[in-house]
Amino acid sequence: MCTARGHRDDLLPLPDDVGRAIAAHLQTRRPLEQQRVIFLRGLAPSGGLGRGGVAFVVRRACGRAGIPPIGPHRLRHTLACEMVAAGVPLVEIGQVLRHTGLTSTSIYARVDVRALRTLAQAWPVGAA
C-alpha cells in the first residue's frame, strides 16, 4: 500500500484481509469523479477523508467501545511506547512511524520512568 506522509510516498505492507476489505470497498462505493482516494467523507461535500475526519472516526470508535475519547496521535504514541517496552530498537520504531530522524521518534518513544525505578539500585549507605 502506498501512503503519503511528510510529502513523500511510502510503500507499506498490507495484510491480506485488509487488502480484500479495501478492494471490496472500492468495488461497492459510488464513483468519485477523478480523485484517487480510498476513504471518503460521509457528508457533503464529497471528497477524501482528511485529518479531522480521521480524528472523528477514532473518537467515535472510542465512544462505541465505551472508553474515553482519544485522538489518532495518542494511538501513534501508545504504539511507540509499547514497542519500546517490548525492546524494539528506536530505529525500527521510527520506520513504523515513518519518521525521517530519530529525534522525532524519541519524542513518541519516551522511556517509562516508573518502570526504570524498579530497576534502580539502592543508594549505598554512608556514601557522600
Residues 36-50 have pLDDT tens digits of 777 778 777 778 888
The residues, ordered by sequence, that sit 6+ positions from 80 with a Cβ below 8 Å of its Cβ are 93, 97, 105, 108, 109
User: What is the pLDDT, as a whole number, of residue 50?
Assistant: 83
10 assigned to some structural domain: yes
Total tally of structural domains belonging to the chain: 1
Burial class (CB in 10 A: 0-12, 13-18, 19+), 37: exposed
124 assigned to some structural domain: no
Range of the domain at 16: 2-22+36-117
Quote the percentage of the chain above a pLDDT of 90: 17
Residue 40 phi/psi, 5-degree rounding, is: -110, 155
82 assigned to some structural domain: yes
Distances (CA, A) of 74 to 8, 37, 55: 23, 25, 10
User: What is the pLDDT, as a whole number, of residue 1?
Assistant: 47
**pLDDT value at 64 more than 90:** yes
User: What is the pLDDT, as a whole number, of residue 44?
Assistant: 78
C-alpha span between 98 and 13 (Å, rounded): 13
122 assigned to some structural domain: no
44 assigned to some structural domain: yes
**pLDDT value at 84 more than 50:** yes
Polymer length of the chain: 128
Query: pTM for this one?
Result: 0.61
71 assigned to some structural domain: yes
28 assigned to some structural domain: no
Q: How many CA atoms lie within 13 A of 112 on its CB side?
A: 14
Contact 97, 89 (CB under 8 A): no
More confident residue, 116 or 99: 99
pLDDT band per the 50, 70, 90 thresholds, residue 2: very low
C-alpha span between 81 and 119 (Å, rounded): 18
67 assigned to some structural domain: yes
pLDDT digits (tens, 9 = 90+) for 24-35: 887 887 665 566
